[in-house]
Amino acid sequence: MDKKTYKNWEGLTDKMLNDSWKFRNLCGRPFDRGFIGELLVLKQLLKRYRDKLCSSLDNDIVYAGSANKEWDIKLALDAKTILLNAKATTVLDTKNKPRWVRQDAKSFCDIKIDKKGQWVLPKKSNPGLFYVFVDVGTWLKNKNADYFILSDKMAKLKFGKKYSNLYNGKTRKTGSTDFWVEYSDVKSFKDKFPRSN
């Protein structure tokens, strides 16, 4: 990536975030927290990997957003590819900590549903994929956000087990496979961005 391209990414990402923050304060409601979460992750990646991105014209960043089901952002750094899936929230729990509601458990485990209930099975992980849980709600208040980063392997272990403990062998009337990710589930993964080498 050349420095001019980097500056365009950096400048436009900052502008979009500033305009989003102003618009939210004007209308008084959070809009499209998912898009804002992706922009916040993008901003962090540009900041964190600036030197590596600009060290070679072959290095690049790709933003796919919701057009891609598995990942939102791809970093190509020398021979390494890092895929990131941003998970945003504006919801707080009773202790004013972020809570990520309506997470689809099928991202983290295989689920078979029959008349007797749901059966949770392990799912193969992608070594290049990472989940970034970002607190958009706090950013909308004070322009500071926390980032909690789990490898796909860790997320599948942690959340597959959590969902299994909650629902394996049980019937859910709605047929839903959603669950909540709590602050306590991710707090030990704060700022654990993947290495660039």
Boundaries of every domain in the chain: 3-189
Over the stretch 146-194, which tens digit does the pLDDT of each residue have?
999 999 999 999 999 999 999 999 999 888 999 999 999 999 999 999 9
Q: How far apart are the C-alpha atoms of 189 and 158, rounded to whole Å? A: 12
pLDDT at 30: 64
Give the count of alpha carbons within 13 A of 96, CB side only: 2
Q: Tell whether the model's pLDDT for residue 4 goes beyond 70.
A: yes
Q: Tell whether the model's pLDDT for residue 33 goes beyond 70.
A: yes
Burial of 1 (0-12, 13-18, 19+ CB in 10 A): buried
Please state whether beta strands 117-121 and 110-114 pair in parallel, antiparallel, or not at all (unpaired): antiparallel
The one-letter amino acid code at 147 reads Y
pLDDT at 196: 80
pLDDT band at 131 (very low <50, low <70, confident <90, very high): very high
Asked if residues 26 and 35 have their Cβ atoms less than 8 Å apart, the reply is no
Q: How far apart are the C-alpha atoms of 76 and 142, rounded to whole Å? A: 32
Nearest Cα neighbor of 16 from 63, 77, 53 is 63
Over the stretch 69-105, which tens digit does the pLDDT of each residue have?
889 999 999 989 999 999 999 999 999 999 999 999 9
pLDDT band at 41 (very low <50, low <70, confident <90, very high): very high
